[in-house]
Amino acid sequence: MLCGKTRCPILVKFYASMKTKKLIDSLTIDGSSPPGVFVGRIGYPYVSVGPLVPPLHGDTTLLDTPELWLGKTIDEIVDFRSTLVRGKHRIKITDVDEKIAEKTRSLALSINPSDVEAEFMKKPVGRLVLNDEVQPYGPSAELKKMDVGNIKFDHKIEKAYYDTDLKAKDAVLELYRKGAFVSRIQKAFSVAAFGIKKRRRFVPTRWSITAVDSMIGKELREKVKTYPLINEYRIYESWELDNRFIVLMMPLSWRYELVEAWYPNTVWNPLGKKIVIFSSSEGYYGRKTYAEIGGCYYAARLATTEFLNMERRQAGVVILREAHPGYIMPVGVWNVRENVRNAFRKTPRKFDTLNEAQSYISSKLDIKIKRWVNNSRILKDITCQRRIEDYENQ
């Protein structure tokens, strides 16, 4: 293709939108929300809140549950996400008791798909919205009014909502410990469902995703640091959506890094002719600034600390990601979180030395290990330290 991509993302989006265009060519929509909600960020502290509603009835859970998407193709994800029409209602982030805001919140608290009838100011229009932080969604329109029905609250989330003395962070951690899906916690967090009553605020969806990943990851990290070290080098792998993930675990005190290599004609390297590499890392005490890589960093850290807690072990971790040209459009940070989780569900390769582990990495990834080391703060530090020790022992 002229753009250099192996497939045309514009055509993928076009064909997906054509499948649902006739179903949403109206001032009203009536369907079963997964349940799904969205809070925009443009104009903050004034934001657009509202439901995500497909022109479908029945069990639509899959449409807004990223934990169920691993193994789906980009076409499948785009197809079902393009059916979600976003209703928009402008409010200030502190207007938590406003009528449409309350109805939107009730959807986020629901445990099952819920009936939504929405009337718009104009017919829903617009392209499928794609972003590397949030999941795609379809056309949007300003809401005139909305009604919800068949709501069955998730009792765990409902309890946190009615506890107006419980801090938002504590609500997030408690729900995670009780087994709530991270995506469900993120939705509830975005619609001002948690926190001290007078401090509750709507949070833009993309911010809520990273905030929840970060809070849970930090809490789990502190527990990880109390466990004994692993006693070998391990490599875990996951290959999905033309993304290759290698997780290298080392018998070291906690440290963590995500290194991403983006091929030409991919999301973060659309016009480039060479592979570009980005990285963000933290040492034993974490980091004080927002990760350069963005939300993917916190999503992968959550999955990593989650696994180490289940193992009751501590390790130094470097995650290497190759995003190949087949990854023609962004689908959200869930892709990173669920790929890393998927890697940990598999039996790891184990090695006695770092050299052996690095040789294996070279056999699995296209980019040579030397380039990974040069772009990884942690791997570079370990390599330099080993050289110093070798000289001292001569």
The secondary structure of 79-138 as a DSSP string is: HHHTT-EEEEEEEETT-TT-HHHHHHHHHHHBSS-EEEEEEESS--B-PPB--SSS--B-
> What is the CA angle 238-244-245, rounded to 5?
55
Which runs of E-coded beta strand occur in the chain? Answer: 28-33, 36-39, 46-53, 85-92, 114-120, 140-149, 233-240, 243-250, 255-262, 276-282, 316-323, 349-351
Residue 2 confidence (pLDDT): 42
Percentage of the chain beyond pLDDT 90 is 80
How far from chain centre, in Å, is Cα 69? 12
Residue 79 sits at the vertex; the CA angle it makes with 75 and 82, to the nearest 5 degrees, is 130
Taking only the tens place, the pLDDT of each residue in 50-88 is 999 999 999 999 999 999 999 999 989 988 888 899 999
3-state secondary structure of 251: coil
Alpha-carbon gap, residue 13 to 38, rounded angstroms: 20
> 332-375: per-residue pLDDT in tens?
999 999 999 999 999 999 999 999 999 999 999 999 999 999 99
Which residue did the predictor score with more confidence, 267 or 60? 60
186 contacts 334 by C-beta, under 8 angstroms: no
Q: What is the pTM of this model?
A: 0.92
In the 8-state DSSP scheme, what is residue 326?
T
Pair of tokens at residue 103: 């109805």
Tens digits of per-residue pLDDT, 272-320? Answer: 889 999 999 999 999 999 999 999 999 999 999 999 999 999 999 999 9
- Identity of the amino acid at 148: V
What pLDDT, on the 0 to 100 scale, is given for residue 58?
Answer: 96
